[in-house]
Amino acid sequence: MKFFKPTVVAIALLSVMGCQEPAKQEDKAAVLDTEIQKQAYGLGASIGMYMERNLEEHDKVGLALDKTLIIRGFTDSMAGKSQIEKEDIQALLMNLDQAMKAKQMEQATASAEASLMEGQKFLAENAKKDGVQVTESGIQYVVLTPADGEKPLATDTVKVHYTGTFLNGETFDSSRDRGQPAVFPLNRVISGWTEGVQLMSVGSKYKFTIPSDLAYGPNGKPPQIPGNSVLEFEIELLEIQKPDEPAQVGDK
């Protein structure tokens, strides 16, 4: 709903709409006979679900909020008996927002540092395995299915099937899972892909282990890929699409 955009202040006050009088709600289901009743209930449920996710994020960074006090603040405010002035509430919630961001940044930094150390150790061990080749830039790869023939240039567009995983084996992206090959200009992706896919011929399949500095670097790609992540890809090159040749003077 375009007219309802929860702010930090509004979320804190409205989130408990679905939580009021929980004992009564357990004993007797809400009456939802009319469209307007369903809309009212839906608004409360939507706010409740949003706030539940919000509180979970606070819990993750060690800023757990007391739900009982949230409910009390809401009911007191609705009755015109808030124990804190509006201006003070706004300042308090702005401080909470800043603390949340600081905690998230602290955790992201710690995670990136741990990923960097884990990645460096993995790359050193992986390079010793049979069949693993290493490029000058540090990309490691294994040829799973060899093929002969044309190889793409960085300026080409390629069609591929791929699966991307973290070092723990968790898949974060897969064209195969989507059931649709990916098509993209080779110079518009992470540098590890741009370099690595140029080693391949159509019909071949490689497994690449790409250092973080040739992937998404220290910043990662939030929220999907943490900073300093070493990534692994199984890539099958299906087709090379050459750029259109420029028209020659005198052509008809």
Mean pLDDT along residues 96-106: 88
Q: Which residues contact 194 (CB under 8 A, 6 or more apart)?
A: 154, 186, 187
Burial 62-75 (b: 16+ CB within 10 A, else e): eeeeeeeebbebbe
Answer whether 239's CB lies under 8 Å from 158's CB: yes
Task: Check residue 119 and give its pLDDT.
Answer: 92
Segment 36-46 shows an average pLDDT of 90
**Whether 236 and 172 share a structural domain:** yes
The pLDDT tens digits of the residues spanning 176-202 come to 999 999 999 999 999 999 999 999 999
Q: How much is the pLDDT for 252?
A: 43
**How far separated are the first and last CA of the chain, in Å rounded?**
55
- 156 lies in the same domain as 79: no
> Is 132 within a domain?
yes
User: Which residues, other chains included, contact 183 with Cβ-Cβ below 8 Å and sequence gap of 6+?
Assistant: 157, 158, 159, 160, 241
The reported pLDDT for the residue numbered 61 is 82
pLDDT of residue 26: 54
192 domain residue, yes or no: yes
Q: Kindly state whether residue 94 falls inside one of the protein's structural domains.
A: no
Domain extent, residue 128, equals 119-241
Number of domains into which the chain is organized = 2
Say if residue 123 is in the same domain as residue 185: yes
What is the pLDDT at residue 27? 55
User: φ, ψ for residue 222 (rounded to 5)?
Assistant: -60, 150
Run of H or E residues at 206 = strand 205-210
Between 71 and 176, the more confident residue is 176
| 69 belongs to a structural domain | yes
Examine the fold and report which residue of 83, 101, 133 is the final residue of a domain before the chain moves on.
83
Instruction: Report which residue type is found at 85.
Output: E
Q: Where a domain ends, among 83, 109, 130?
A: 83
Q: Residues 118-158: pLDDT tens digits? A: 999 999 999 999 999 999 999 999 999 999 989 999 999 99
* Same-domain status, 131 and 237: yes
